[in-house]
Amino acid sequence: MDPPVDGISGRAGRLTITEPTITVVVAAHDEADHIARLLRSLRNQTRMPSEVIVVDDGSTDCTARIAYREEALVITTQQRGPARARNLGAWAASGDILVFLDGDMSASRTFIDRLTEPIMAGKACGTFTKEIYIGNPENPWAEAYARVRRLAFPRLLPDSFPDVWANFRAVRRDVFIASGGYDDVGYGEDMTLAPKLEALAVAAPGARCFHFNPSSLREIAENGRWIGRGHDIGAVDHPWLDNAPWTAFRKALADIGAGADWHVLPARLGYHLGVIAGLCGRRLRPHRHWK
């Protein structure tokens, strides 16, 4: 059979319209508490992906075993961070469109359909969604974390967020592969694709999904450490001062004055001390781009 051209393949006099296929790539490290929920939500889509690939990035728990049980294609690798894990999944994918999800997410039934619709229609090479809801808003630590990160609780992004962004949630595989994929910079790697594509992701209306915030003080501090050793922290003018304990305490008092409950005080201290630890790790081991 002749090779497909713009979604149409076949011999002269007999054409077959081929709809682009979709691969979901999940980079996961120690996501045993969340991965089954995500994979089950992906089996309940109005537009089913042709495959779901979980790249287990050196997990120390049973993430890979759960992913196998939930019928995902699993790639296990030594821990090297999300950029390398996502790229590995993309190289192994067979789909025409890549959808990148985190292990601590879940998707509404129409998520894949709505997210990929602008790409299917040829209106964009990639998309993102503004409709990311916090999956555990009832957890006081999750709410405190939203305060710390200035998230639009109970969502991650506000309604007023722009309709284009540098963070791709779905992208055509051909342009992704041609670009070389994500750069290995640690936290913030998901913002490295747009400059190479010289394009921004377009918001996909109705693509509703859920992201589960850290649900304990330990997870909040660990998240701060990951951010502190990442790429984006380099754009902050005074990262050490901005995350000093006295600064964290002052910000926590302002949060409480604005209506936050007491969890925000230890959450602030844990998060900002985590960032300081990450900054130290970034200076001591600048080439380590994983947690």
Q: Which residues pair with 97 in a beta bridge?
A: 22, 172
Q: Which fold has domain 19-211?
A: Spore Coat Polysaccharide Biosynthesis Protein SpsA; Chain A (3.90.550)
**CB atoms closer than 10 angstroms to residue 132:** 19
Helices 264-284 and 245-257 pack at an angle, to 10 degrees, of 150
pLDDT at 274 over 90: yes
Assign 176 to helix, strand or coil.
Answer: helix
Chain segment 107-161, per-residue pLDDT in tens: 999 999 999 999 999 999 999 999 999 999 999 999 999 999 999 999 999 989 9
pLDDT at 50 over 80: yes
**CB atoms closer than 10 angstroms to residue 146:** 22
Please report the pLDDT score of residue 234 as a whole number: 82
Where residue 11 falls among pLDDT bands split at 50, 70, 90?
Answer: very low
Q: Which of 259, 33, 66, 24 is nearest to 135 (CA)?
A: 33
d(CA 265, CA 252): 5
Look up residue 63 and give its two tokens: 């993430």
Chain segment 173-197, per-residue pLDDT in tens: 999 999 999 999 989 999 999 999 9
Please report the pLDDT score of residue 287 as a whole number: 86
Where residue 27 falls among pLDDT bands split at 50, 70, 90?
Answer: very high
pLDDT at 87 over 80: yes
pLDDT at 9 over 70: no
Contact 82, 27 (CB under 8 A): yes
Output the pTM of the full model.
0.91
pLDDT at 47 over 90: yes
